[in-house]
Amino acid sequence: MVRRVGVLVGSPRKASLNRKMALAMAALQPASLALEIIEIARLPLYNQDLDDADSAPPEWVSFRETLSGVDAVLFVTPEHNRSVPAPLKNAIDVGSRPYGKSAWNGKPGAIVSVSPGALGAFGANHHLRQSLVFLNVPCLQQPEAYIGGATKLFDSDGKLINDTTRDLLSGFLTAFAGWIEATRLKSGS
Ligand code: FNR
């Protein structure tokens, strides 16, 4: 069975290294996974008043529906000030509401964090894990993927040119495919 994986990229930047990494992962996906980017940059900021008044913006409604339809979620994110970038945190909040109807609940997840710096956005990776615990997104533990020095990993067309990173991502996706099956089996889905 092919599992649909929603990919959330934490940066809205046109030349985003994280988007390049997400696309590189889509090119490396095993036959059992189908990665699709779920766009988050244009989601209006979360405000509970709108849910309370049953007047959620169409962008929230469509995001929640898309998220509900995937089998698993993959986060590919930079770090902003040692934490999760605001667009991604907003998407997490939008997907988690209305209360009791979280679209995240039970979906297996995985995180790849990417930075031009040496630490590979470790802080964002682990702050994100904290939210995923609360949202009941069982998250792949190993291998971890903190990808630093990311400006050197792509050519001018955005193609991944580093063999070590390619091998790491391939192994990561294989492990994630196994994790999705194991998690789904446990939950009977
Ligand atoms: C950054 N950047 C950054 N990098 C990092 O490794 N740790 C950090 O805490 C921060 N903080 C931070 C805050 C803000 C507001 C910005 C705009 C940037 C740098 C960041 O990693 C870099 O811009 C990446 O290239 C962003 O990812 P994309 O857009 O290339 O995917």
Question: What tens digit of pLDDT does each residue of 45-80 get?
Answer: 999 999 999 999 999 999 999 999 999 999 999 999
The atom of ligand 1 lying closest to the CA of 117 is 6
pLDDT at residue number 150: 98
Torsion sign across C-alpha atoms 85, 88, 91, 97: negative
Percent of the chain whose predicted confidence (pLDDT) is above 90? 96
**Average pLDDT value for residue range 118-147:** 98
Q: Give the predicted TM-score (pTM) of the model.
A: 0.98
What is the band of 35 on the pLDDT scale with cuts at 50, 70, 90?
very high
Q: What is the mean pLDDT of residues 120-127?
A: 98
Q: What is the pLDDT of residue 168?
A: 98
Walk across the sheet containing 146-147 and list its strands: 33-37, 3-9, 72-77, 109-114, 146-147
Question: Is the predicted pLDDT of residue 187 greater than 90, yes or no?
Answer: no
Output the six-digit token pair for 146. 């903190």
Q: What is the mean pLDDT of residues 88-97?
A: 98
Max Cα-Cα span within the chain: 52
**Helix or strand holding residue 109 (H, E):** strand 109-114
So what's the pLDDT on residue 184?
Answer: 81
Give, for ligand 1, the residue of 19, 88, 115, 153 to mutate: max count of ligand atoms closer than 8 Å to Cβ: 115
Of the candidates 159, 148, 28, 24, the one whose C-alpha atom is nearest the C-alpha of residue 78 is 148
Q: Could you identify the atom of ligand 1 that is nearest to the CA of residue 151? A: 25
pLDDT at 5 over 80: yes
Return mean pLDDT, the chain.
97
Residue 178 has what pLDDT? 98
Q: Looking at the predicted structure, is the pLDDT value of residue 189 above 80? A: no
Residue 183 Cβ < 6 Å to ligand 1: no
Flag whether pLDDT at 119 surpasses 90. yes
Q: What confidence tens digit (pLDDT) does each residue in 134-160 have?
A: 999 999 999 999 999 999 999 999 999
pLDDT band at 84 (very low <50, low <70, confident <90, very high): very high
Separation CA 16–CA 167 (nearest Å):
21
Beta-ladder partners of 111: 75
Q: Are strands 146-147 and 72-77 parallel, antiparallel or unpaired?
A: unpaired
Please write the tens of the pLDDT for every residue from 12-30. Answer: 999 999 999 999 999 999 9
Contact between 173 and 30 under an 8 Å Cβ cutoff? The reply is yes
3-state helix, strand, coil in the chain (%, to 5): 40, 15, 40
Q: What pLDDT is stored for residue 12 in this prediction?
A: 97
Ligand 1 centroid–CA 143 distance in Å is: 23
